[in-house]
Structure 1
Amino acid sequence: MVAFTSVFTTIFAAVLSATSVNAAPVTQSLAARSAAPSAPHFVAYIDEWMTPPATTDLTGFNVVALSFWRPGAPVDEALEWQDLDAATRNSTLSTYSAAGIKTVVSAFGADYFPTSGSPELDPTQTADELAAWVIQYGFDGVDIDYEDYTAMNKKDGSAEQWLITFTTELRNKLPASDYFITHAPLAPWFSSSVYTSGGYIKVNQEVGSLIDWYNVQFYNDGTSEYTTCDGLINTSSTTYPDTALFQIVAAGVTADKLVIGKPGTTADETDGGYMSASDLASCLQQATAKNWNAGVSIWQYPDAGAAWIKTVRSLAFPE
């Protein structure tokens, strides 16, 4: 998932975050925030500079993910949230909570490289900084959109170990009784035959108990990948073997932790994976018939909103 921000706005964000006068803590209670919601999850990522949408515009979704947090300089919708006054943040959180909508921040994004960047980020220090920001700005949890291709493609275990250390520390600072943690891995990273150092299968084995669910990105991996119901839920291509939904389940990941992530429009993907809302609805119906119940995540609102999710849910999860 690619951040909207340009290089200029990233620099501008750093200046704003350093000088912001709106960092007063929110007052949402832990009881209201509570632990992770149960499946199914319907997650809307927002990565534009916009005021928080009204709950009527989010009908059908139960999680909103604001993108992206980055160390020292949140960008795009995460920066927009930081720059709101505390009263507006509190009001928004209360309104969303009353409507059954959880609010999280998504960290990193496709154009940010925690492990292979220069310098490499310390996973423990980064987790501590992120957790403090999550707490300060009132979120129900956090989503980890780690897309460091260079690190993962080394297949030397460095990406996996970074994620394991990072997630362990993040959960230490954000207890499961009060916050939930999700990851947004690329679907191919669940292929242990391609990612011989383990990929996300290794991450799940080591810290899967600390992760509430995965918003799996079944897109941007080639124009013919994950574009049919069979390829999405039953049998993936030989390019990325064993990475369709139920193949990932067979590899040991709990079915109801595997949320299907898709782009809302062709403009929201850079390398394939788009399916129409009606076609995706049919796939979900087939998956639920096999006892899957995790839900759907969308990149991104407002390109896909209440009408989109209503269609997607219509056969398997009617509102």
Structure 2
Amino acid sequence: MRSSEIVIYTDNGNAPVSKLVGTACTIGIQSFISNALFDLSGKCTLEMDWPLESSLKNGDIPVAKEGGKRKILVALGGEIFTSRVWQACSENMGGFVEALVDFIKDNQFDGIDIDWEDSEALTARNYDAVAFLSDLTLALRARLPAPDYVITHAPQAPYLDKAWQGGPYLEVMKRAGSALDYLNIQYYNNPWWVGDSGSEQAAKVAGTTGSPAFATSIVGLVEQWLPVEKLLVGKPTTAQNAGSGFLDTPDLCHDVIAPLVQKYGSKFGGVMGWQLAESPSSPDLALDWIASVARTLD
């Protein structure tokens, strides 16, 4: 029987994924591949941010797996990955995929998380974002077969809203959802799609209150045909890890997670936390958050 996932990111050199040892986390994500450069032939060279580079130098990836207890993915993108670079990736898909697959296998990762946040492309239309994300996912899956490798995406909540630029990730899921394991949906930093209080987030994040369900909530997305087992509630682990959307852990568990567990049981995809450290530079870890979420999912 499947169980709901607990996914934890880290993008802090003081808190590499190896610090997940001993926790209930089932998938750890080390961030970020932060840039891609292409020569005239289309060959791609990937660049890393310092936390990812440090984790590789220190041998954190195999340690973090804890003898097979969890999968460890590498994150691609994030807010510093520019629209110009995403466009270049779309124009050199073969070289880009080759570089990503080599990076994953050479560094003993169990897959990849695609953190595409290029809202600019949806208005500038400098490349076809939906086609790119769909084709990238399918090409990676062809080289990284399941279940040995995991492929996730981390869309912001508006990307799943038909009323916002057509809901680009709804179309990505139609085209490439079969090749994708999970959506780590970012329910933060977009106040209209998230809410503030526990009761607001019960409606806008969980979707277990209000009728009809809020469109980008978990219940709302399931009602639009997305499989609940692929949908994860992504939340900041502390107020310092996001501009908005943080909910105190007891309220998060009571108002958002527990109602989804009650409604869907172990079919519910799970919960994602950004991030392991209590702030982008803190050495202190959000271990109590992970433990509380795990108890609520159990």
User: Into which bin does the TM-score normalised by the smaller protein fall?
Assistant: 0.7 to 0.9
Query: TM-score scaled by structure 1?
Result: 0.76
- 1:54 positional shift: 5.1
Identity %: 25
Please show how residues 144-223 of structure 1 align to structure 2 within 5 Å: 144-154=114-124, 158-196=128-166, 198-222=167-191
Q: Secondary structure of the residue that 1:232 maps to in structure 2? A: helix
Matched AA of 2:272: S
Q: Which runs of 5+ in 1 are unaligned?
A: 1-36
Offset at 1:73? 0.9
Once the two structures are superposed, residues 154-183 of structure 1 have per-residue CA deviations (whole angstroms, 9 ceiling, x without a partner) of 579811111011111111221124211011
The number of aligned residues is 271
SS at match of 2:191: coil
Alignment check: 8 A CA contact 2:32 2:78 kept: yes
How many angstroms does 1:117 deviate by? 4.0
Structure 1 window deviating more from structure 2 (127-136 vs 201-210): it is 127-136
Alpha-carbon distance, 1:39 to partner:
3.7
Q: Matched residues in 1 for 2:122 and 2:97: separation?
A: 19
Q: Could you tell me which residue of structure 2 aligns to residue 43 of structure 1? A: 7
Task: Classify 1:195/1:236 alpha carbon distance in 2 versus 1 (closer, same or farther; 3 Å).
Answer: farther
Considering only aligned residues, what root-mean-square deviation do their CA atoms show, in Å?
A: 2.8
Matched, 1:83 2:57: yes
1:260 aligns with 2:233: yes
TM-score (norm 2): 0.82
C-alpha contact (below 8 Å) 1:235/1:242 kept by paired residues: no
Q: CA deviation at 1:98?
A: 2.1
Q: Are 1:69 and 1:78, in contact at CA under 8 Å, matched by a contact in 2? A: yes
- Identify if the C-alpha distance between structure 1 residues 224 and 58 changes in structure 2 by more than 3 Å, giving closer, same or farther: farther
1:111 corresponds to 2:83:
no
Supply the distance in 2 between the matched residues of 1:149 and 1:236 (Cα, whole angstroms).
Answer: 29
CA distance in 1, matches of 2:111, 2:132: 20
Contact kept in structure 2, 1:233 and 1:245, CA below 8 Å: yes
CA-to-aligned-CA distance 1:29-69 (integer Å, 9 cap, x gap): xxxxxxxx954111111101136455676512111100001
Give ranges in structure 2 of 5+ residues lacking alignment. Answer: 37-45, 279-284
Cα 1:248–1:53 change in 2 (3 A) is: closer
